[in-house]
Structure formats: structure tokens, C-alpha cells
A and B are shown apart, each in its own frame.
Chain A
Amino acid sequence: MSQVAEDINFAHQRRWSNRPMSLASRLWLLLSSPSLQLILLSRIIHWSYLKRQQGGLHKWLGRLTLIPIAPLKVVIEINTKSFICNDCEMEGGVCFSDQGNIIFGALKNGAGTVIGPRVTVGIAHQGRPVIGRNVWIGSDCVIYGPISIGDGATLLPGTVLTKSIPAGIVMQGNPARMVLRNFDNSKLREHQDVDAIQYLKTMGEV
């Protein structure tokens, strides 16, 4: 539950950075944002999956939870057109785009990661990546292969990444090339409406 609270706080900060957080505004955010519902459901599905891996009574508890989960999953999958693998280990405070179309199959996903619309992470026969903390992934990205993405890395929109990258790096293009080193992406992650390429250009001029 604490992980879900972190998700909601992070989304609240991104959307209404100047508003104070209250219980009502958090609830309104959870009701209005399909991506938060998707993350909440994926956490429940992950918990149920872990229960089903265990033996004895836990296994049956996990199977019992599938009965309410299955119809909810159909509704939310159609609403967001997204799919999150049930064995993905996600830390608290992850933000997905409300526009959806995300196919997410990472093995691990760190806290503070922001994922844009129309992103694919992991392809079954090619291997599944491990995503670090505070990573910003733009729209239309494809990430696959048995790779790891370092903390604080930034993937600009339209990147196709198949190799491991270190922390704090900016990648762009298909196939992906390095643009910058030691880039601080906290402004991109904390504000929803920042155009990444425009922001990088202004940073280059300064």
C-alpha cells in the first residue's frame, strides 16, 4: 500500500506541483487517472502472482484473488491499451503516461521512473531489461535485450535501445546514440508539460 501512496504522491507532484496534497485531491487523482489505476492493479496482480508461486494455502489465496482481478484487468487494459507483466518488480513512485499504449515487461523498475506513451519495454525472445531509478523514458521508445539502464538516464522520444547504458546519460535515435553525459533530468521528471528536446536545447545554450 505504501508503494501505491508513493505513486499517487509522485503523480500529484507532476500534475499539480503548486497545490497542497490532501486526501480528497489524491482520491480525485486516482479516480481521474487511468495510468494510476493501471499501476495499482499491476501491483495487486504482482502480489497475487507471488502468492501463487508459493505452496499450500498461499497458492489458493492467490488463485482466489484472480476472480475479482480478471474483469477489472480487461476493463483497465482496454481503457489504457497497456499491458504490464505480472512478474515485474516495481518500486514505489513510478509514473506512467495517461495516454497509454505501453507494453511493459521489465524485470525490475526503480523508483522515480517516468514512462511516456507508446513505449515498449522488453521483447519475449530477445530478453528483458532492468531499469534503474529516476529514469526518464520519452514517447515511442523501444527497449529490449538483457540490458540494464543506469540511474538517472534519459531516453529522448523515438529511441530504440538495445545496449546497456551507464547512469546520467542522454540517448537519442534509432539505433540509439549518446547525446549528453551527466545530465540532470529532475526537471523533466517533476513537471509534466516540459518538451524534452526544447529543454535540452536551452540547456545547451546556457
Chain B
Amino acid sequence: MFENIRADAMRVHRSSKSHYLVNILRSLWMNQGFRALLIYRFGYWLSNVRKHRFGWVIVAPLYPIYWVLSVLVRNAYGINLDQSANIAAGFYINHFGGIEVRNCCIGPHCNIQQQVKLGVSETTDNRLVIGEGVYIGGHAQIRANVTIGDGATIGAGAVVTEDIPPKCLVLGNPSRITQRDYDNRSFL
């Protein structure tokens, strides 16, 4: 849990050389999405601890705290990071409001914005898979079980319904690949 949170804080402060605890506190003050992500990581850690034989001893007092915090974040910021989503380290949420992430598997070093809807509401065997270093712009919707390649860029307002190869720029509704070999590392 802690390595992931450390990596997330590094995303908020890109070129920070300060101590990582200072970095986490500054990210908590600056970025609302980081607060939501911290609570999501806490809940994910609790669900892992519960698998242990005597895990319920730790989980029983902590789970109500997680539940209250997650409801608060969902209503205050409008960021709904469901426990059915599997988010790797280095996730960054820019702005807040109307974010829904569920039933998906997100790779490391990804970036989402406000009003992004990821994943279908019902649980199935094949999930939405998002690769490494994917930038998803504001108001984008991916409500299908598709695979999105590493380094892809999904533009603002795009509605994705098909698989996307790596390093593509996708725009429009319905989405079209407008550019291949698009480098998003400058703004990720």
C-alpha cells in the first residue's frame, strides 16, 4: 500500500526532491484526487488483510472508518473509486467531480481527469484493461470491456467502444484513431 501511495504523491509533484512524507502531505493539501486515492488504497489493503487467517482482528475496527471516509469522498468530491477496480501505482487524478472507476484493471503511471467514466457496472469475467502510461482526458467514457494499449492518449470527450493499439491518439464520439505514434510523455 505504502509504495503505491508514495508513487502517487510523486505524480502530483513531478520534480520534487523533498522527503516523501513531506511530498505526501503537500499532495494531500493540493490535490483532491489524491485524498480519494489514499482512501481507495486503504480499502484495498483492508481487503488483502482480510484474506489472512486472523485478518478480521485488524479489519473489524478499521472497516467502518474506511466506509465513512469513502462515502464522504464520494459525496464531497464526486470521485467514485470502486473496490472492484484494480489500480496500479502512480495514478493521478487531475480535478474532481463525476469520476466513476469500476470493474477495470489500470496499469502504472496513468492519468485521468474530471467526469471520466471507466468500466461497466456489472461484473463479468473479462474486464476493461488499461495499459501503462495512458492519458485519459476529461469527459471521456469507456463503458465496454476493451483493452487499451500502453502509452495511448484518449482525448477529451471521447467515447471508446473498441480496442485501441499502443501509442495512439483517439478523439471523438464514436471514437476514431486520429494519429498513430503519438507521444504523450510531455504532459503525462
Contact = CB atoms under 8 A, between A and B. Distances in A.
Contacts of B172: 160, 174-175
Contact of B78 (A101, A120, A123, A124): A101
Contacts of B159: 174
A120 B138 contact: yes
A117 to B, nearest CB: 10
Contact of A174 (B78, B138, B173, B187): B173
B166 interface: no
A120 B115 contact: yes
Given A81-B78, A101-B115, A142 B157 contact: yes
A47 B173 CA distance: 39
B95 A103 contact: yes
B173 A100 contact: no
Contacts of A100: 97
A21 interface: no
Interface string A35-54: 00000000000000000000
Contacts of B139: 118, 120, 140, 142, 160
Given A120-B139, A123-B137, A142-B139, A101 B77 contact: no
Interface string B56-100: 000000000000000000001110000000000000000111100
Contact of A142 (B77, B95, B97, B138): B138
Interface residues of A, number: 19
Contact of A101 (B97, B113, B156): B97
A144 B114 contact: no
Q: Is the interface of A mostly helix, strand, loop or mixed?
A: loop
A159 to B, nearest CB: 9
B156 A118 contact: no
Contacts of A78: 76-77
A83 interface: yes
Nearest to B156: A142
A101 B98 contact: yes
Given A81-B78, A120-B138, A140-B139, A125 B187 contact: yes
B46 to A, nearest CB: 26
A81 B138 contact: no
A106 to B, nearest CB: 15
Interface in B115-165: 115, 137-139, 156-159
7 contacts: A78-B77, A123-B138, A140-B115, A142-B156, A173-B173, A174-B159, A175-B172
Interface of B: 76-78, 95-98, 113-115, 137-139, 156-159, 171-173, 186-187
Given A120-B113, A174-B159, A175-B172, 18 more contacts: A78-B76, A82-B97, A103-B95, A103-B138, A118-B115, A120-B139, A120-B156, A123-B113, A123-B137, A140-B115, A142-B138, A160-B139, A160-B156, A160-B157, A160-B172, A160-B173, A174-B172, A174-B173
